[in-house]
Amino acid sequence: MCPPPEHKTPPHYLVSIFEASNETLKEVLLGATPRLLQQLVREHEERRPTEISHWAEEHRVGYRCLEYSISGREARAFISKRARVLRDKGWKVLQESD
């Protein structure tokens, strides 16, 4: 998971942007993380973030990394633009704190 809101990622740190999509509910979780995608997925399987705690095992869920090694400042802009595109396509966008 990304650090909690009180420990925001400084703008100069490098992070990756991930997308967890639930095709069953047409919801997507966007976030930035310094972790590898495989580690993030494992953490989410062990303990789901609050934003996606309602996702069930039978839902069609997939994870992917959208962008590697960008600054925290660029990550926020990227996530904002990606969220807008997805909303325009009818998806409910959930965002994890960075």
Does residue 34 lie in a domain region? yes
Range of the domain at 26: 16-95
> What pLDDT band is residue 49 in, cutting at 50, 70 and 90?
very high
Does residue 10 lie in a domain region? no
Asked if pLDDT for residue 36 goes beyond 50, the answer is yes
Does residue 29 lie in a domain region? yes
Does residue 3 lie in a domain region? no
Does residue 75 lie in a domain region? yes
Q: What are the E-state strand segments in 3-74?
A: 14-22, 27-33, 61-71
Average pLDDT for the chain: 87
Please state the domain count of the chain.
1
Does residue 6 lie in a domain region? no
User: Which among 73, 92, 91 has a CA at the least distance from the CA of 11?
Assistant: 73
The arithmetic mean of pLDDT across residues 35-53, rounded, is: 93
Does residue 2 lie in a domain region? no
pLDDT on residue 8: 53
The tens digit of pLDDT for each residue in 7-23 reads 455 556 799 999 999 99
Backbone angles phi, psi at 39, to 5 degrees: -65, -40
Give the SS3 label for residue 21. Answer: strand
Residue 43 contacts residue 1 (beta carbons within 8 Å) = yes
pTM: 0.81
